[in-house]
Amino acid sequence: MQRRRFIQIMASSIAGLGLGQTLSARSLQPVSWQGYALGSEGQFTLYTEQPTQARRILDTCLAEIRHLESRFSLYDSQSELCQLNRNGSLSNPAPEWQPLLRAIDQAYQQTNGLFDPTIQPIWKHYQAHFAAQPQATTVPDEGTLQAALARTGWQHVQHNESGVHFKQPSMSLTLNGIAQGYITDRIAEILQAAGYGQVLIELGETRGLGQHPEQRPWQIGIQDANNRQNIYRIAELENQALATSGGYGSPFSQDGTYHHLIHPQTGRPTTQWKSLSVIAPSATQADALSTGLSFASPSQIQQFQQTHDQVQILTQA
């Protein structure tokens, strides 16, 4: 189990409904890819009058996914991220690191430190505790937890174009709260550049390009955190992205009390919300904010909304 948020959406079952006559009239055909990105199931579908040509661009998209995984994956021991975590520094990182690091800086600042990818030592502490004691219902050893917490803090990560360096020993990063959004945006950029304007991308986060072929926004069902067979709310996207965080998506303990959403300032898996969704202009931003704002209070979310009018926050208590 990796430290990541399982986005809880049911986009495909909604977005694909009712094409019938509209698609036929315009001779549009859906061309899809399904597979895995950063250990999570993903897919994207584009609508086109030239499916053979579209299938070739899907190969380009897949190659880009694999390329970015070699930079940011915790699953690939040879990835640049894993090299950084092993060595405490990474010299001459690939160019793709720079926009991602800038996005982390921005999300860290916007959330007052609630989004912080240095929590990997704490995640590993919980994971080891519950792997050894699957029936446990109590928090791991407090001393060990505090030691892990001491090895966190984005302010202890130094980065520029020449390298990334941890200023504290035994630190490590997880990019699973932002890299999926970043990869989603890269695929969107590739498809836009190739001339595709009606696309739904789901790679852990969801981004809709243009409109649904029925000349309406993409309609995305957000899963009910209290009853995962139901849809809690329908979100509409038009050149926007959606990301959802909920502790129920990846629990540590069997009762769900302890889960992967870990407050970076307390080291506790406590959130204000059963689920929190963010609609934003980019999947990178939506991804990071849905993680960080999960720990925000109602007043903090209200204040955030007042100063970020391009971002919409949907909560389920």
| pLDDT score at 24 | 46
Residue whose pair of structure tokens reads 């999570």 in the numeric block: 40
Alpha-carbon dihedral angle through residues 185, 311, 267, 85, given to the nearest 10 degrees: 20
Name, in order, each residue with C-beta under 8 angstroms of 290's C-beta and a sequence gap of 6 or more: 5, 243, 244, 245, 276, 277, 278
CATH number at residue 85: 3.10.520.10
Q: What percent of the chain has pLDDT over 90?
A: 74
Residue 6 lies in a domain: no
Per-residue pLDDT of 177-234, as tens digits, reads 999 999 999 999 999 999 999 999 999 899 999 999 999 999 999 999 988 889 999 9
Residue 1 lies in a domain: no
Residue 49 lies in a domain: yes
* Counted domains in the chain: 1
* CA 205 – CA 188 distance, rounded (Å): 12
Give the pLDDT band (50/70/90) at residue 15. very low
Residue 19 lies in a domain: yes
Backbone angles phi, psi at 208, to 5 degrees: -110, 125
Query: For 197, which DSSP code?
Result: -
Structure tokens at 29: 């055909």
Spatial CA neighbour of 245 closest among 282, 294, 286, 279? 294
Query: For 116, which DSSP code?
Result: -
| pLDDT score at 259 | 84
pLDDT at 6 over 70: no
Residue 2 lies in a domain: no
Residue 3 lies in a domain: no
* Domain range for 141: 11-316
Residue 168 lies in a domain: yes
Per-residue pLDDT of 131-159, as tens digits, reads 898 888 887 788 988 999 999 999 999 99
Residue 253 lies in a domain: yes
Give the pLDDT band (50/70/90) at residue 26. low
Residue 268 neighbours by CB distance under 10 Å = 16
The overall average pLDDT reported for the chain is: 89
pLDDT at 21 over 70: no
* CA 220 – CA 206 distance, rounded (Å): 9
Backbone angles phi, psi at 211, to 5 degrees: -115, 160
Give the pLDDT band (50/70/90) at residue 103. very high
